[in-house]
Structure 1
Amino acid sequence: MAVIDGSKALRKALKDVFGQQVLIQRCQVHKTRNIMDYLPKHKRDWIKRVLRKAWASETADEAIRELHSLATGLETQYPDAAASLREGLEETVTVLRLRIPGLLQKSLRSTNTIESTFSMVAKSMRNVKNWKNGTMVRRWVCVALLDAENRTNRIAGYRSMGVLISEIQRLTNVDDEDQAGSESKIA
């Protein structure tokens, strides 16, 4: 499973490396921002509440119905907002399809965790001005990531990772041998 911001290139790369069975969760924070860009300020708070309510649904099917209903309601006055909502809509509810507990689900709804890590790396490296070569850059990134790891807390709901793994296997029909093959692609 991968949580992404909606980048088509990143989505394609994930599919190329891990195959069509990779589960993609679109960042709900980025999706909300994208939709808000097409709405007047006086409509934004209301639409945000509707989006949050839909994404807090008990099931993915219920969320999808609510999101499609919202898109239909936006269509006449705000067709670009409706189109933005419809684009990748199913991928915004992957965490609901996985039926994982609330805390872990909340952690996996957005790219905030990885963006926080990248922010720590950028902060560590911002004063280095004279990069000698690619090896030096990689070393600095590795050191910055190790430092970020020491300052990062576990994601909320980490104790439910076993449920997440079981659910991913259920949805993708991946067994332990297939998983070992995928892990070797990462290394």
Structure 2
Amino acid sequence: NFLEHILGHAYAPGTISNITDVVIEDIRAWQERPLQKRYAVLYLDGTYLKLRRDDVANEVVYVVIGVTEDGYREILGFYVGGQESSLGWEEVLSDIYRRGCEEVLLGIFDGLPGLEEAMKAIYPKADVQRCVVHKVRNTLNKVRKKDRSAISEDMKAIYRSNSKEEAEKQLDAFCDTWQKKYPKIAKSWREDFYVLTTFLNYPSSIRPMIYTTNIIERTMKEFKKRLKTMNSLPSEEAVEKVIYMISDECNTKWSTRRLRGFKEASPELHTMFEERYGSQTETEEKR
């Protein structure tokens, strides 16, 4: 039984019906809940689940995690259906904006084509950060095994720099070393350099949190783990129930857990908001 898989034990049919009714109402309220005006960071990621309509096919679940300037995170929304696309992400971000999240400093995501443009369409003043871990992984997949250790160290020298200027020098050294042997890789790193090193413009205490999408990927793994016993989900509504229950559980757990480094960075992030968006006249505490 679907709900037994999710909730962990058996329920009588009448009880399951009641739970189902309550959950649907809760989901709709949760999906429409107002959001804070300011989030320092938005993490964006999508994962595929097997969903039955007329037949079974993989469909995406878009997920957005927001982190406040004082370091508290929450799943702001999830959106089920179709194949992941930049247009889909623009619709997702439009909904996040509509619900009150109007000011964002940084969007963090992997390298899906068009996602940066989608972010900028809704949040033109936000910076974008491409996931460095994805870039490193993709690079290592394209080089010979005997070169992986050396090229890994040279990439590390770029993204572990203390400043953009230092990173640029390390990029030059990287390209000098590998240009002849791997010209496409050197070109790719040079082209993507600025979107890979945006995090260096932010307080050093939070850089380990914002150079990668690891924060949201861990959440996606939890979704997958909880769903792995099911071959396919019987409907879109069923997917929403699963993701909602896990999301609500995560948000409750996270509401008292500040992400590392944000306490120290909070004053500087506040200043960045003020410089970029102007003074905030009213602060809403919704944690």
Q: TM-score range by the shorter chain?
A: 0.7 to 0.9
Answer yes or no: is 1:174 the counterpart of 2:277.
yes
Match of 2:115 in 1: 10
Deviation at 1:143, TM superposition (A): 0.7
Larger Rg: 2
TM-score (norm 2): 0.54
Unaligned runs of 5+ in 2: 1-105
Residue 54 (structure 1) shift: 2.2
Query: What is the aligned partner in structure 2 of residue 115 from structure 1?
Result: 217
Q: Which consecutive residues of structure 1, in runs of 5 or more, have no partner in the other structure?
A: 181-187
Alpha-carbon distance change, 65 to 130 in structure 1, aligned in 2, over 3 angstroms: closer
Deviations 1:11-54 (A, max 9, x none): 222112212x2211121111111221222112111121122222
1:51-102 deviation line (CA, Å, top 9, x unaligned): 222222221121022113312331111112212212311111111112x133
Q: Which amino acid aligns with 1:175?
A: G
SS at match of 1:8: coil
Matched residue count: 175
Assess if the C-alpha contact under 8 Å between 1:95 and 1:108 holds in 2: yes
**More deviation, 142-151/35-44:** 142-151
Verify the 8 A CA contact 1:35 1:84 in the aligned structure 2. no
Work out the CA distance in 2 between the residues paired with 1:167 and 1:122: 38
List aligned pairs for 1:1-187, cutoff 5 A. Answer: 1-19=106-124, 21-98=125-202, 100-102=203-205, 104-129=206-231, 131-149=233-251, 154-163=258-267, 165-166=269-270, 168-169=272-273, 173-176=276-279
Q: Secondary structure at the match of 1:173?
A: helix
More strand by share: 2
Change (3 A) 1:84 1:134: same
Structure 2 CA distance for partners of 1:70 and 1:140, relative to 1, 3 Å = same
Identity %: 21
Residue type matched to 1:92 in 2? L
Number of the residue aligned with 1:183 = none
For 1:167 and 1:7, locate their aligned partners in 2 and report how far apart those are by CA, in whole Å.
31
> By how many angstroms is 1:118 displaced?
0.8
**RMSD of aligned alpha carbons:** 2.6
Which structure has more helix as a fraction of its residues? Answer: 1
